[in-house]
Amino acid sequence: MNIPIFELERVQSLFENTVDYNLTESGFHPYTLNQLLNKDQIHTLTNTVLGYGQTNGSIPLRKRISAMYTNANEEHVLVTNGSSEANFIACHTLLEKGDEVVMMVPNYMQIWGIAEEMGCFPKAFHLKENNEWKPDLNELKSLVTPKTKMIALCNPNNPTGYTLTKDEIQEIIAIAKSVDAWVYCDEVYRGAELNGKTIESFIGMYDKVMVNGGLSKAYALPGLRLGWLIGPKEHIADTWAYHDYTSITAGIMSHYIGEIALRTEKRQEILTRNRTMLNENLIAVKAWLDQYGDLFEYTSPKAGGMLFIKYNLDINSTELANWLRTEKSVFILAGDCYGMDYHFRIGIGERKTYILEGLERVKQALKERFNV
């Protein structure tokens, strides 16, 4: 097998549904159809003919998506089965064997594995924990070469919750232009900002930009498996060609529900609900961590659905996660999945009572094993 196991996704798939408390959910507590749709919309949904629909995404849905970006229309959009398919298609559209990919780390590591499978050469430039997760752009500048085909970003970042400043964005674009590289940005957490202000997309800032988005994270609708790519028309046309060889199309019911979710008033309702949860839960989780003094260290996220935490215990992060799972039926994501031992990730987009009940079990476990 030429493609490496995607450890982060595999670990989550194995364990997130086998525990009493999954504390590493990376999005928000999902909506039900009754919460999301009105009676007329549900009636229409239940009478929908279950055909294929338009394979690159229904025109109404692509219009809703494009309206969230600068100087874009439906021809700039490809609808995919989640943002994971979007990442796969984008890489196979924009990269060729032998290309270099310089990738922000830590990150959702899917693109790293895809690049390796394609015979590309991934390199890492780092967000610096000792500088509140700000990117080391001098490192980025030193890594790009004439062979660099893509600079891969995640903004807002998974797992740190860092959001790039305007100056950092402009410098990244300048670096990309200097070697004629693509900027590919995972923007799936755009809309989950704690201050309530949606960050600006990279779209429109440079002619070689492509981004992804989706309804799984900031919109609390992961079961729809609805994502998208947006970029230059001619390259989006190329992505559609790859999409024909992968999943062909997202489900017609997801097209219908997704278009409703992205209507202006409904979209604002969803984002407000989720940002409120995020802020309330962050306060509660920080209070829980702070009771332990310097045992835990963290930088508050600016966006996203999680808190990335460093711990000061003499135990490997995978061992810690496995122990909590087997002894207390609590699942946390080990920092090893990001190549960062002595860290773990906690999701803060779930119901607050659920999170605190899970943390109570962690508290019991820490007292039993480490006497803290």
Q: Is CATH 3.30.2130.10 the right assignment for the domain spanning 7-31+267-367? A: no
pLDDT value at position 260? 98
Number of Cα atoms under 13 Å in the Cβ half of residue 144? 22
Q: Where are the domains of the chain?
A: 7-31+267-367, 51-264
Q: DSSP 3-state assignment of 298? A: strand
CB 270 within 8 A of CB 219: yes
Q: How many residues does the chain have?
A: 372
CB 343 within 8 A of CB 311: yes
Closest to 187 measured CA to CA, from 129, 228, 222, 148: 228
Cα-based distances in Å from 110 to 8, 105, 190, 263, 345 = 9, 12, 18, 30, 17
pLDDT value at position 137? 98
Whole-angstrom distance, CA of residue 109 vs CA of residue 159? 11
Cα-based distances in Å from 121 to 96, 97, 107, 172, 362 = 10, 9, 17, 19, 40
Neighbours of 141 (CB within 10 A): 15
Whole-angstrom distance, CA of residue 361 vs CA of residue 162? 29
For residue 204, which phi and psi values (nearest 5 degrees)? Answer: 95, -5
According to CATH, what is the number of the domain 51-264? Answer: 3.40.640.10
CB 218 within 8 A of CB 190: yes
pLDDT value at position 246? 95
Whole-angstrom distance, CA of residue 14 vs CA of residue 29? 20
Q: In tens digits, what is the pLDDT along the chain, a chain of 372 residues?
A: 577 777 777 877 777 888 999 999 999 999 999 999 999 999 999 999 999 999 999 999 999 999 999 999 999 999 999 999 999 999 999 999 999 999 999 999 999 999 999 999 999 999 999 999 999 999 999 999 999 999 999 999 999 999 999 999 999 999 999 999 999 999 999 999 999 999 999 999 999 999 999 999 999 999 999 999 999 999 999 999 999 999 999 999 999 999 999 999 999 999 999 999 999 999 999 999 999 999 999 999 999 999 999 999 999 999 999 999 999 999 999 999 999 999 999 999 999 999 999 999 999 999 999 999
CB 128 within 8 A of CB 136: yes
pLDDT value at position 16? 81
Q: How far apart are the first and last CA of the chain?
A: 44
Whole-angstrom distance, CA of residue 301 vs CA of residue 88? 27
Whole-angstrom distance, CA of residue 44 vs CA of residue 39? 9
CB 23 within 8 A of CB 351: no
344: left (phi over 0), alpha (psi -120 to 50) or beta: beta
* pTM of model > 0.85: yes
What residues are paired with 105 via a beta bridge? 126
pLDDT value at position 291? 97
